[in-house]
Amino acid sequence: MHKFRRAAIAAATVVSVSLAGTGVAVADDSSLSFPTSSELGYERDAYSIEDGKAVIADENQITGQDGFGEVQAKDQPAWFTDWKDAVATLGLTTLLGAVIGLVNWLKFQGILPY
């Protein structure tokens, strides 16, 4: 178990150092430009500009019933399908992390064998 803990700590350290280094590298490079969510939405035709105001087209509007109901709309907007996939992925990884934490705690308490 000590080897596993050391490996987990080493992996967490590597991830944090690499992310910190990436953040510093990106902060140092002024030539990079990241689009905002509004820019991405405009590029994906989620809305248009009319008279200086953002107007959401009818085909890009969706209700909860259309997206999550028993009978789902077949022509869901791309932003909604991306959002739904991201939420499902994050939910599964959260559940996986909880299961791993529970198993580790049960092993630490001696309930599960090493």
Per-residue model confidence as pLDDT tens digits over 6-42: 777 777 777 776 666 655 555 555 565 666 666 766 6
Q: Which two tokens stand for residue 30?
A: 């002024």
Instruction: Measure the CA–CA gap between 83 and 60, rounded to whole angstroms.
Output: 13
Whether pLDDT at 97 is above 80: yes
Instruction: Measure the CA–CA gap between 42 and 54, rounded to whole angstroms.
Output: 9
Instruction: Measure the CA–CA gap between 75 and 92, rounded to whole angstroms.
Output: 25
Q: Which two tokens stand for residue 112?
A: 């599960």
Whether pLDDT at 106 is above 60: yes
Q: Which two tokens stand for residue 20?
A: 């910190």
Residues in the chain: 114
Element (H, E) at 92: helix 78-108
Note whether 62 and 76 are within 8 A (CB).
Answer: yes
What is the average pLDDT across 64-79? 76
Whether pLDDT at 2 is above 90: no
Instruction: Measure the CA–CA gap between 26 and 40, rounded to whole angstroms.
Output: 20
What is the average pLDDT across 57-65? 72
What is the average pLDDT across 55-75? 74
